[in-house]
Structure 1
């Protein structure tokens, strides 16, 4: 892992999400939110707005990841757990959580969504490789879980994704001496399992819409460690 890899880095992001385009992107976000709040579906509305503003595919994806109907955001925030973690079992969407931290550690583009979660544009697509940022990301999670004084952390990894077994080994090795239990489950149906749990760590909108409660851990880590240097922030749209 001596090779330096920037997870999620795309050179054209520096232009497409630079100062020149931020104003246009935020204006497009306001109009997308307007449509969503009036019942338009995200696919049709984002296509319409993207065409109107001549947005690139990644700019459109950033809008879709960042903007949600205000009612959905309110419901998500109502289920967000912000304290009282002591003695609890925490259920972690492994690839979702670790990859976003790797992207932030790489100074690649991240999105702060209306619901406060941090999302990325990296895309898994069934393949994953351990990089030089992976161990750091896992250690940051371990540090935060220790601060929470949790009883147990369960990482759920998608079985069909390549190198899930290797990532499991890294998680267990790096977190073995901490003051809480650690388990890693490699399964086929991560999303459907997490949707039934409480104290879920994920930024996946479908999961946090359906789960009993969730924790915005990546946002807390990224803010505390000042990792979000390349962040498009849509979180203030919730108050529009």
Structure 2
């Protein structure tokens, strides 16, 4: 029996991500974007902006995960798949995709980044546990991929992460009757593998910068699900 857990929630989130705080974050995001577009490094620039606006660690993390220099956003947008996935094989960043859905379903803070992908503040840090939202997240992925009539989904899970084997079994169990072939690989270096693929499903910025093409699945799932999200929307900063 899995616990009812709010993935990605922190006790100070109501204060740190109130409407007033989010408005300040958007302004801080504009300043960070200005610096990144002038080739300042993200670490130094985010520290400078964070100190200027007296941001907390989670607020700074939200900035870093939401803001990228415009040339990187343009590159990612050029790789985003907008057409039908009929008959395609998709390569899924397993922990990245499932955890973000778990966070959204938990009504915890999610970020709509400048590239339009959905990110979270949960952080993996080498540990993972299956929760009640895990099953729902996998089912949502299944339903959307069946809708697109893909031929095969390959999930990639980071083998060193605790319970990656258990999550593999849960994915295979929940997708045992899916209308597409399913494969789950527990491997080292998931990022390095996905960086070489097309039809990637991930919101990891480094992967999106290097992969051949990607599909913004979680954004599509959450739009169709039509639930109220605790979202910080930085996507409007890219015009």
State the TM-score, normalized to the length of structure 1: 0.98
Contact 1:104–1:227 (8 Å) recurs in 2? no
Return the alpha-carbon distance in structure 1 between the equivalents of residues 170 and 37 of structure 2. Answer: 43
Contact 1:90–1:150 (8 Å) recurs in 2? yes
Return the alpha-carbon distance in structure 1 between the equivalents of residues 153 and 172 of structure 2. Answer: 11
Return the alpha-carbon distance in structure 2 between the equivalents of residues 2 and 217 of structure 1. Answer: 26
After TM superposition, the structure 1 stretch with the greater mean CA deviation from structure 2, 99-108 or 13-22, is: 13-22
Q: Structure 1 residue 23: deviation in Å?
A: 1.6
Q: Secondary structure at the match of 1:84?
A: coil
Contact 1:110–1:228 (8 Å) recurs in 2? no
Q: How does 1:96-107 map to 2 (within 5 A)?
A: 96-107=96-107
1:141 match: 141
Q: Structure 1 residue 84: deviation in Å?
A: 2.0
Q: How does 1:83-98 map to 2 (within 5 A)?
A: 83-98=83-98
Q: Structure 1 residue 44: deviation in Å?
A: 0.5
1:81 match: 81
Return the alpha-carbon distance in structure 2 between the equivalents of residues 21 and 212 of structure 1. Answer: 37
Give unpaired runs (5+ residues) of structure 2: none
Q: Structure 1 residue 83: deviation in Å?
A: 1.9
C-alpha RMSD over aligned residues: 0.8
In the alignment of these two chains, the number of paired residues is: 239
Q: Secondary structure at the match of 1:146?
A: helix
Which string of whole-angstrom CA distances, capped at 9 and with x for unpartnered residues, describes residues 24-73 of structure 1? 11110000000000110100100000000000000000000000000100
Which string of whole-angstrom CA distances, capped at 9 and with x for unpartnered residues, describes residues 130-187 of structure 1? 0000000000000000011000000000000010111011101111111100000000
Q: How does 1:1-240 map to 2 (within 5 A)?
A: 1-239=1-239
Return the alpha-carbon distance in structure 1 between the equivalents of residues 220 and 201 of structure 2. Answer: 11
Q: Structure 1 residue 227: deviation in Å?
A: 3.5
Contact 1:106–1:133 (8 Å) recurs in 2? yes
Q: Residue 106 and residue 218 in structure 1: after superposition, are their counterparts in 2 closer, same or farther (change >3 A)?
A: same
Runs of 4+ deviating beyond 3 Å: none
